[in-house]
Structure 1
Amino acid sequence: MGIETHSDAPLARAVRAAGSQSAFGRLIGRRQSTIFMWLSNDTPLPAELVLRVERETGISKHDLRPDIYPPTSATGMPIGHENVACDRPSVSQQAQA
């Protein structure tokens, strides 16, 4: 039983989806000891691995690295940005002026 069994962190969920730290390491080309260190130190998954891990484990990139892939709303905008006001006129408003 590994450290990932006691955590609901997205990286821990991805490790469990792969089957073990060793299997996850093989999946992404890293040593088991590196995976253990990431889990122990709560280190974020390196950005270059996020899309591969999402594809291989089904754990969302939004969960794995919300700092890079913020959750999106139904409009496709990052959550919290849907109703951001802009003082600049739109292109159509500029054309009418």
Structure 2
Amino acid sequence: MEQSDPALTLAIDRVGSASELARQLGITPAAVLQWERVPPNRALAVERISGVSRHQLRPDIYGPAEAVAE
């Protein structure tokens, strides 16, 4: 599996596999493997499942993680 987005790769690694991420999202593994980055409508679910921040997954939508108050 060679994903172009490091945050997506991290999310898949944390869950264990693209197949497991897909199972938890209720979609096919092929759908996950087609992503170049997490789709906007999946970002919050992927964050919840993997623990990878929405700011890492979609900084174009949620802003960079550094902008978020800790």
Report the TM range for the smaller structure's normalisation.
0.7 to 0.9
What's the counterpart of residue 89 of structure 1? Answer: none
The residue correspondences of 1:19-58 to structure 2 (distance < 5 A) are: 19-38=16-35, 43-58=36-51
Which 4+ residue blocks in structure 1 deviate beyond 2 angstroms?
none
Letter in structure 2 aligned against 1:17:
R
Structure 2 residues not aligned, in runs of 5+? none
**TM-score when scaled to structure 1?**
0.60
- Tell me which structure has the larger Cα radius of gyration: 1
Structure 1 residues 45 and 8: CA distance shift in structure 2, 3 A: closer
**Greater RCO between the two (CA within 8 Å, min separation 6)?**
2
**Superposition CA RMSD, Å:** 2.2
Q: Indicate the structure with greater helix content.
A: 2
Structure 1 residues not aligned, in runs of 5+? 77-97
* Superposition deviation, residue 73 in structure 1: 5.0
